[in-house]
Amino acid sequence: MTDQTDNLPVEEPIPNPGLPEHHWRPTDVDPAAAKRAERQVATFFLLSVVCALLFCVSYFTIEPGDTIGGLGAMNVALGLSLGFALLFIGIGVIQWARKLMGDHEISELRHPAASSEEDRAATIAALQQGLEESGLGRRPLVRNTMLLALGVVGLPLIVGLRDLGPLPGKKLERTIWKKGTRIVNDVTGRWIRPTDLEVGQLVNAEPEGLVTPPDAEHLAGLEARGGHVVHGAELLAEKAKSSVILVRMEPKDITEETQNWGHQGILCYSKICTHVGCPIALWEQQTHHLLCPCHQSTFDLGDKGRVVFGPAARALPLLPIEVDEDGYLAARSDFLEPVGPSYWERNSPAYWEKQEKKFFEEAAK
Amino acid sequence: MRFLNRSAGRLSRHRRSRLAGLLVMLLGLLVMGGIYQAVLSPSNADTQSKSDEELIQEGRDLFLVGCSFCHGQNGEGINSQDGQYGPSLVGVGGAAANFQLTTGRMPMQTPGQQAPSKDAVYNDEEIAAISAYIASLGPGPAEPTAAQYDIDEYGLTDEERAQAVVNGGQLFLTNCTACHNFDGSGGAMPWGKYAPDLKDTSKKNLYQAMLTGPQQMPVFSDEVLTSKDKASIIAYLESIQEEPSHGGFGLGGLGPVSEGMFAWLFGIGGLVGFAYWIAAHTTRSTKTKSSEGTQA
């Protein structure tokens, strides 16, 4: 233990047998075999050249729409030629290393990575001397003000983060839904009557205004309710929060508490998963389970969107709905809790439950 | 010719007879009655194709043998202690019956999470009879016609048809891809269930499935997704199958599942093979070099 730099054990339990005798490869001892291997390696490199040239030729000669056996001709030709060009270089190099490069066995002894005792002692002494001469220990005022300055110089960095954008405020709690907003079928944009829905039906829906109205009547209706057709970045932001699914079940399959939210077995749920916000539409009409394809969170739509499986922590939010005076399905209010995944400033579940209770008590009056 | 002229002349002689008008009228009545009897009469049609009652009766006979064990003797469904054995068929309509029977999902071979599609057990006439019986149990969606499920029957111009396919694609991505995958290749569902591949499904069956919502699939009624919307979705599905695979081999269009498996088995497997080749021992010779000085 005293002599660590040497790194050799004091005594070996088994005598070191040394390296076995080196056996030569045929290419080392037979010039004809060596010549043959050389030609093989050269052949692979030349094949690679051919493939690379084929790549260039196909790039210019093949029309983008051409096909070979149902596949895009451009993709097949470019992929295969470049792939084989690289593969042949690799094969050539391996063959070269195995047949022709020297293959002598050598052994290298390992040594400890630490510096010697003297070097370490000298370094520590130098550091100690610097510490004493700077007077850090003797002059606490200098030391403390320096620490303060180093700390406060971080503040400008934090303040600069303010430029990342305005604070979100209530944006995550509110969506475009409000009392009277009609529910429309996604893509076609048509209003929906309760009689349009059969038991077991699923409708991927949006609030009116997020889908282009199909005719003048729908547009006039939207504008009469104070809405407008949303475009651009606002459309994307709203769609990420406001998309819903509309389902109809036998009222007997729905818990009593859930029935308050819907209309004759028709329920409107947020389409945004409460785990990380994937849009969900895998609804099994017989089990009433809604499955998120991203991480398999499963919600029971007959029971207030309760989580029955998976990583989601909260039930899927319901949108309270009603039938308006013209007989179309519409929202009774905005969502009563923030939709989608959790975030830092989100209030506690108890707070949102209280809001919900307040809404239904007021509605009952 | 002379004979004809002579007989015409003989007839002509009687045309002013008092009985002539009566005879002509009688002849006319006989001819009309005969035609009616031969072609149009309902009792005669019976001998060629069956009446509704007979069709329903035949369907009921087949139903009692092949279906009533699970669905009950009157299609009312059977509930057992473990839950539903076979659902009630009252009000499912002819469309649902035709879909289940033509795709071979019914009769089910064995109880399970899902009835798989197989060769149809009944022939077309039997399916028509059973569908008629089930349609008679209660009002429900009727079997769709080509005028509903085939976009070419809508009389669209080429441009309108192309627009319909685009619209069908939007509807497909919104309503169908969650379960059936972006390519219509199907996908896995919880507890061993699955959304089937749509590529070999007939247009009529696709329409019926959207209309009736078989098994776990939700219903997409004609009021919300109109016939034309459904026909557009079907046309879109047809169009993506005609499209050549520009990205190379589609590997079943299953996305990361089959692509990942290919990368693991063939990509990493190939790399492991090369690593073995690099490190493997080469053949050795028993000969030695004449001059040791060439050693490195």
Structure tokens at B158: 């080429």
A92 and A195, same domain (yes or no): no
Chain B: closest CA distance from residue A327 (Å): 14
Burial bucket for residue B149 (CB in 10 Å: 0-12, 13-18, 19+)? buried
B160 and B235, same domain (yes or no): yes
B294, pLDDT greater than 60: no
Average confidence (pLDDT) over A215-228: 92
Q: pLDDT, tens digit, for every residue of A324-335?
A: 999 999 999 999
Evaluate whether residue A108 is within a structural domain: no
More confident residue, A226 or A2: A226
Q: Evaluate the CA torsion angle A306, A312, A314, A317 in order and state its sign.
A: negative
B151, B161 Cβ separation under 8 angstroms: yes
| Alpha helix stretches (DSSP H) within A180-284 | 216-224, 232-242, 256-259
> Which of the listed residues A75, A99, A123 is the one where a domain comes to its end?
A99
Evaluate whether residue A358 is within a structural domain: no
Angle (CA) A281-A237-B171 rounded to 5° is 40
The overall average pLDDT reported for chain B is 85
Average confidence (pLDDT) over A86-110: 90
Distance from C-alpha of A227 to C-alpha of A181, rounded to nearest angstrom: 8
Residue B9: predicted pLDDT = 59
Evaluate whether residue A51 is within a structural domain: yes
Evaluate whether residue A172 is within a structural domain: no
More confident residue, B5 or A198: A198
Residue A1: predicted pLDDT = 44
Evaluate whether residue A132 is within a structural domain: no
Distance from C-alpha of A323 to C-alpha of A295, rounded to nearest angstrom: 35
* Count of the separate structural domains present in chain A: 2
Burial bucket for residue B85 (CB in 10 Å: 0-12, 13-18, 19+)? middle
Q: For position B100, which CATH number holds?
A: 1.10.760.10
Cα separation values, A239 from A210, A340, B125, Å: 7, 12, 49
Share of chain B above pLDDT 90, in %: 47
Evaluate whether residue B291 is within a structural domain: no
Average confidence (pLDDT) over A156-177: 88
B129, B65 Cβ separation under 8 angstroms: no
Cα separation values, A256 from A65, A252, A262, A281, Å: 59, 9, 11, 24
Structure tokens at A343: 């975030």
Task: Note whether A201 contacts B247, CB cutoff 8 Å.
Answer: no
B128 and B153, same domain (yes or no): no
Number of other CB atoms surrounding residue A11 within 10 Å: 5
Contacts of B220 in chain A (CB under 8 A): 201-203
3-state class of A245 per DSSP?
Answer: strand
A94 to chain B: closest CA residue = B278
Range of the domain at A306: 183-343
B293, pLDDT greater than 60: no
- Main-chain dihedrals φ then ψ at residue A218, nearest 5 degrees: -65, -40
Evaluate whether residue A265 is within a structural domain: yes
Chain B: closest CA distance from residue A295 (Å): 12
HSE (side-chain half, CA atoms, 13 Å) at A115 = 8
Evaluate whether residue A64 is within a structural domain: yes
Q: How confident is the model at residue A7 (pLDDT cuts 50, 70, 90)?
A: low
> Which of the listed residues A41, A68, A99 is the one where a domain comes to its end?
A99
**What single string gives the DSSP state of each residue in A34-97?**
HHHHHHHHHHHHHHHHHHHHHHHHHHHHS-TT-EETTEEHHHHHHHHHHHHHHHHHHHHHHHHH
Q: pLDDT, tens digit, for every residue of B230-271?
A: 999 999 999 998 888 887 778 888 888 888 999 999 999 999
Which residues 107-166 of chain A have a CB within 8 Å of chain B?
A: none
B156 and B235, same domain (yes or no): yes
A195 to chain B: closest CA residue = B223
B103 and B151, same domain (yes or no): no
Q: For position A264, which CATH number holds?
A: 2.102.10.10
A195 and A309, same domain (yes or no): yes
Instruction: List, in order, residues 6 or more apart from B142 with CB less than 8 Å away.
Output: B93, B94, B95, B135
Evaluate whether residue B254 is within a structural domain: no
Residue A174 contacts B where some CB pair is shorter than 8 Å: no
Residue A342: predicted pLDDT = 87
Residue A185 contacts B where some CB pair is shorter than 8 Å: yes
Evaluate whether residue B131 is within a structural domain: yes
B118 and B170, same domain (yes or no): no
A317 and A198, same domain (yes or no): yes
Evaluate whether residue B255 is within a structural domain: no
Task: Note whether B218 contacts A97, CB cutoff 8 Å.
Answer: no
Evaluate whether residue B186 is within a structural domain: yes
Rg for chain A, CA atoms, rounded: 37
Evaluate whether residue A304 is within a structural domain: yes
Share of chain A above pLDDT 90, in %: 69
Q: How confident is the model at residue A3 (pLDDT cuts 50, 70, 90)?
A: very low
> Which of the listed residues A70, A99, A128 is the one where a domain comes to its end?
A99
Range of the domain at B233: 146-242
Evaluate whether residue B122 is within a structural domain: yes
**Chain centroid offset of residue B64 CA:** 25
Where b means 16+ CB within 10 Å and e means fewer, A321-347 reads: beebeeebbbbbbbbbbbbbbeeeebe
Q: pLDDT, tens digit, for every residue of A292-317?
A: 988 999 999 999 999 999 999 999 99
* Count of the separate structural domains present in chain B: 2
Evaluate whether residue B121 is within a structural domain: yes
Residue A187 contacts B where some CB pair is shorter than 8 Å: yes
* pTM value > 0.80: no
Residue B295: predicted pLDDT = 44
